[in-house]
Structure 1
Amino acid sequence: METAYKIPAAARIGHVHLKVSDLKRSLAFYCDLLGFEFMMHYGEEAAFISAGGYHHHIGLNTWHSKGAPPAPREGVGLYHLAILYPTRKDLALIYKRLRDAKYTHIGASDHGVSEALYLRDPDDNGIELYWDKPREQWPRLADGSLTMYTKPLDLEDLLKEAE
C-alpha cells in the first residue's frame, strides 16, 4: 500500500500578494505602521515589502483592483494573513505601537498554542499578528492531539512585556 504524500515539515509559506485599491495608502499602513521594510516598486502598480531584508514577504498590487472597493466578507477569498512574531515581547511591542497610534480596531485572543492580535488593513484584508507559545506549553488531550481554544487575551499583561 502506498503511503500518502506529506509536505516536508520544513516547508513554509514564503509570501503573499494582496490586491489593494491604493498602493500608497497600503505602503503607509504596512511600512509606516506595522514596520515592514520597503524593498522595491514593480512598475507603478506593485510594491514588495519584507521583514529583515528578504526579497518580499508581502506583495501589494493594484493590477486588478486600483480604486476598487473591498471584497465582500461573505464571499470567498483570503480570510486573513498571519504574521508570526518571534517572541511575546515582539507581539507586545507591535500592540503598544498600534495602541500609541490610536489604532482602535484590534481583536485579541489566546488560542492555547499562540496569542494573537487581529486587525484589518485599509482595504479590509484581515491580518493576524501572533507569536507561538513554546510547543511544550501547547494544550493537548490525553491522546496527544492538540486542543486549541479561543479565550480573551489579557492585553494589560501583554503590555508588561513591552517594558
Structure 2
Amino acid sequence: MTEPIDPRTRIGHVHLRVADLDRALGFYCDVLGFTLMQRYGAQAAFVSAGGYHHHIGLNTWDSAGGSPPPPGSTGLYHLAILYPTRAALADALARLDAAGIPLTGASDHGVSEALYLDDPDRNGVELYWDRPESEWPRDADGSLRMVTRRLDLADLRAAGAAATRP
C-alpha cells in the first residue's frame, strides 16, 4: 500500500487556456475581483487574491481566438475558488448578478455551499465556502456524508445583504 501524500500539500494555482486575454481578465478581475499581478502582453496574465504571486494563470499561447472544447471531450471539469466565509460567497453572487452572469447550478453539499458557472471560454468555475468541519454531516460511524441539495439563493443573497449593513 502506498503511503498517503503529505496532508499539508495544496493545489497552488490553475493555468487556463483562453481565446481572448482581455475578455478573460474582464471576468476574473472585473467581475470576480481578482488582482492582476503580472501581464505578458496579449499572451498571458497572472491574477491573485490577497497578493499571492498567482492563483490563476491565463494564456493564449495555443488558444488565441480558439473555441471551447466540444461536449463529450476530456479536459477541465471546473476550477474551484474557495471563499473564506458565507458572506464572501454572497458577495461573489452579488458580483455575478450585477454583471448578468448566469449560474449553471447552485448546490448545498452539506460540507459546503457552491455556485457553478462558466467563464467566457466555457471553463467551468465553482465558487464555494466550506462550513466549519464541526458542522459537516456524518454517518453514525463518523464517516463524512456529502450530499447535493438545492442551494437557497435567496437566503444566500439575504446573508450577503445583512453582512454589508452597518
Report the TM-score range of the alignment, normalised by the length of the smaller protein: over 0.9
Tell me if the contact between 2:18 and 2:59 (Cα under 8 Å) persists in the aligned partners.
yes
1:162 aligns with 2:160: yes
Q: State the 4+ residue runs in structure 1 displaced beyond 2 angstroms.
A: none
RMSD between superposed Cα atoms in Å: 1.1
8 Å Cα contact 2:103-2:115 kept in structure 1: no
Q: Distance between the aligned counterparts of 1:73 and 1:84, measured in 2?
A: 26
Match of 1:13 in 2: 11
SS in 2 for 1:12: coil
Correspondence 1:62 to 2:60: yes
The residue correspondences of 1:10-159 to structure 2 (distance < 5 A) are: 10-159=8-157
One-letter amino acid of the counterpart of residue 46, structure 2: F
Paired AA for residue 26 in structure 2: A
Count of aligned pairs: 161
Counterpart CA distance in 1 for 2:85 and 2:12 is 20
CA shift for structure 1 position 101: 2.1
Segments of structure 1 that go 5 or more residues without pairing to the other structure are none
TM-score, with structure 1 as normaliser: 0.94
What is the distance in 2 between the residues matched to 1:78 and 1:43?
Answer: 25
C-alpha distance in 2, partners of 1:46/1:101? 24
Tell me the secondary structure at the aligned position of residue 162 of structure 1.
helix
Q: CA deviation at 1:106?
A: 4.2
* Separation in 2, partners of 1:100, 1:42: 29
Aligned-residue sequence identity (percent) comes to: 62
SS in 2 for 1:17: strand
- In 2, distance between residues paired with 1:15 and 1:106? 23
Structure 2: any 5+ residue segments left out of the alignment?
162-166
Distance across 1 between alignment mates of 2:141 and 2:86: 28
Deviation, 1:66, is 0.6
Contact 2:19 2:121 in 1 (8 A): yes
Give the SS at the match of 1:72. Answer: coil
